[in-house]
């Protein structure tokens, strides 16, 4: 789990709850004050409207994964640069002796992109073909990431408008 996301979320919830419960007249915390800020209709308008707008704005296959996309922000980034570079150096030493010996190291390589490229090397694919295939894979992966960013960006841009509508309904 990404610690920065967890700490930031915990701090935001703490300060929001503290601000809602703090009574300025007595300078005390009153838990009952938090209920004045709860309005079920407003919450349904904000979340329902944001999700509905996201489905309207994006293709179904992109929009339906919004919970998984948001969940990715809570996960730590598993890429470990130093270990990957060390692995590449180790594999290159093996390749100098015998290119086919790389095949024995493939199961231990966790980086799927690197493993796929090395599989092409072991299979004696043409250098240009390897570069083209790996570049295509990078482009395809980046396009998927761009779609995910667009979905979250849409939600982030539309949620405040729905929040204002929810606030108006909550006041009526």
pLDDT (tens place) for every residue of the chain, 172 residues total:
678 888 999 999 999 999 888 888 888 888 888 888 888 999 999 999 999 999 999 999 989 988 888 888 878 777 788 888 998 898 899 888 888 888 888 888 888 899 999 999 999 899 999 999 999 999 999 999 999 999 999 999 999 999 999 999 888 7
User: Per the confidence metrics, is the pTM higher than 0.85?
Assistant: no
CA 124/CA 130 separation, integer angstroms: 9
Domain coordinates in residue numbering, the chain: 1-38, 40-172
Instruction: Please give the C-alpha separations between residue 6 and each of 14, 66, 68, 141, in angstroms, as whole numbers.
Output: 12, 19, 17, 26
Q: In sequence order, what are the residues at sequence separation of 6 or more whose Cβ sits closer than 8 angstroms to the Cβ of residue 14?
A: none
């Amino acid at each position: 789990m990404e610690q920065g996301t967890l700490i930031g979320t915990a701090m935001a919830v703490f300060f929001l709850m503290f601000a809602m419960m703090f009574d300025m007249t007595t300078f005390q915390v009153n838990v009952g004050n938090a209920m004045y800020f709860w309005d079920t209709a407003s919450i349904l308008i904000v979340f329902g409207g944001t999700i509905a707008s996201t489905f309207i704005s994006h293709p179904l296959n992109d929009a339906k994964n919004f919970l998984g996309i948001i969940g990715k922000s809570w996960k730590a980034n598993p890429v470990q640069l130093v270990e990957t570079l060390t692995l590449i150096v180790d594999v290159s030493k093996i390749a100098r002796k015998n290119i086919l010996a790389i095949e024995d190291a493939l199961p231990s390589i966790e980086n799927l992109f690197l493993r796929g490229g090395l599989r092409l090397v072991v299979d004696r694919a043409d250098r240009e073909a390897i570069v083209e295939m790996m570049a295509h894979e990078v482009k395809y992966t980046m396009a998927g990431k761009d779609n995910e960013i667009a979905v979250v960006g849409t939600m982030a841009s539309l949620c405040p408008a729905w929040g204002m509508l929810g606030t108006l309904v909550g006041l009526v």
